[in-house]
Amino acid sequence: MQGSDYYIPAFALAVALVVKLPSLWHSRRSPMSQAIFVIIAASAGGFVFAAPPSVERVNRLTGVPNVSALIVYCFLSCLSCASMVLLLHWRGGPEAAVRRQTRMWIAATAGVISTFCVLFALSDIPAERPRDLDTFYATTPFIGEMILLYLTAHAATATVVMTKCWRWSAELRAVKAGWTRWGLLTLVTAFGLGLSFALLKFAAVGARWAGTDALDVLSTEIAPPLAGMGALITTVGFLIPVVGPRLESMWDAWRAYRLMEPLWRALEPWVGDGAPMRIARTSSLEMRATLRATEIADRLLNLAPHLDATHRAAAERYATARGLELEAALIVAEAATIRAALACTPVSGGPVAGGAVAGGPVACTPPGPERPSADDSAEVPGPLPIRISGTNGLAELSRHFSRIHPTDLLVDAAHSESN
């Protein structure tokens, strides 16, 4: 692996940290926010200090050969600890138990890092090994024990986190916690790569203990990319449940905003006398969708006296007879009723059916063979208000509205059926 193989993911993680920093700062007292900060920062730091060019520079600046390896071991130990702490708080449970387990993992990690420092200080490793320190010094006193401790701690943490994530994801399968479950499965993959990294290192170090360097390639060529991918995927796994719902909300808002456009534009003549609502250019997609839904609702309120309640009931029966579910039939019926009202109801100064000119909104007979009978009219007394509300409901209403034309079969057939 070249320097760019380390620096590019480190840069990506740094960008993610900058993006998340405001929200992390606002909730800085939260153990989860603190853990997320450590995970991203430790991942980025591990990549930077593990890069061969960085190893050489750090060793030169400090005057201590191979000290960069100690720094990387400490970073990755912090990453493993923060991952476990975040998982504990994410899963939840009795507060006292979560706090006790958190302290236990932090204390264990602090003990491991302290042991790293002691063993490194006691070791004699003058030859700089930016790529193969684990195998080159596998049998050297003190540093060999440090390497063994690091790999053991890394493998143990990866196994524990991977097992807990897998079990929790299995429990969430029944409750359809999509983003959380996908995050957990991503973490299973990430820590599976971390475990593979440790096992490959173990194999190479074990071969050195046996007196052969035949398996060094496992440590120097195959294991490092696995560790890099594991660190990146770990960060992604923890961010999925945080970022995923937000992206989904933005997508739903954008989709609803676009879907509402046909109905919103068709109802422009029914804006009314109120001043139009303004919105800042920097407003969120959710705010824009909510504003458009509010404007549609206001315009429909102005149109409501001209909606034919009997037409609506007949259109709903017709849609149900065509095999639509009750909710879908309701939306289609509302859309057909609005389309029929707009097709024959002029606004101020517009022509009424038959060529007359009105001084204001005047209802007229919607297109269809004949008006419904008096018996049918008695089923639903008087015009009913629009029964579709909410951003998503109005988006679906607009979608069906845009598919109906003034001469559409549904409009005609509904009146025919009601007759």
Fold classification of 3-244 is Rhopdopsin 7-helix transmembrane proteins (1.20.1070)
φ, ψ of residue 351 in degrees (nearest 5): -80, 140
Angle between helices 67-91 and 143-172 (to 10 degrees): 20
Could you report the per-residue pLDDT of 381-413, keeping only the tens digit for each? 344 456 777 888 899 899 988 887 655 545 555
Least confident span in 140-154, 204-218, 283-297, 357-371: 357-371
Most confidently predicted of 188-202, 236-250, 362-376: 188-202
φ, ψ of residue 284 in degrees (nearest 5): -70, 165
Cα angle vertex 229, ends 228, 233, to 5°? 125
At residue 139, the pLDDT reads 92
Structure tokens at 123: 């070791």
Q: With contact defined as beta carbons under 8 Å apart, do 263 and 394 qualify? A: yes
Could you report the per-residue pLDDT of 230-287, keeping only the tens digit for each? 888 888 888 888 888 888 889 999 999 999 999 999 998 888 776 667 777 778 888 9
Kindly report the pTM of this predicted structure: 0.71
Does residue 370 sit in helix, strand or coil? Answer: coil
Q: With contact defined as beta carbons under 8 Å apart, do 388 and 331 qualify? A: yes
In the numeric block, the tokens 């204001």 are attached to 360
Structure tokens at 22: 């405001």
> Around Cβ 176, how many Cβ atoms within 10 Å?
8
List the chain domain ranges: 3-244, 262-418
In the numeric block, the tokens 């700089």 are attached to 128
Q: How many Cα atoms occupy the beta-carbon half-sphere of 92 within 13 Å?
A: 0
Residue 56: pLDDT band (50, 70, 90) is confident
Could you tell me what percent of the chain has a pLDDT over 90? 31
**Mean pLDDT score across all residues of the chain:** 82
Could you report the per-residue pLDDT of 103-127, keeping only the tens digit for each? 999 999 999 999 999 999 999 998 8
Q: With contact defined as beta carbons under 8 Å apart, do 338 and 306 qualify? A: no
In the numeric block, the tokens 């009146």 are attached to 415
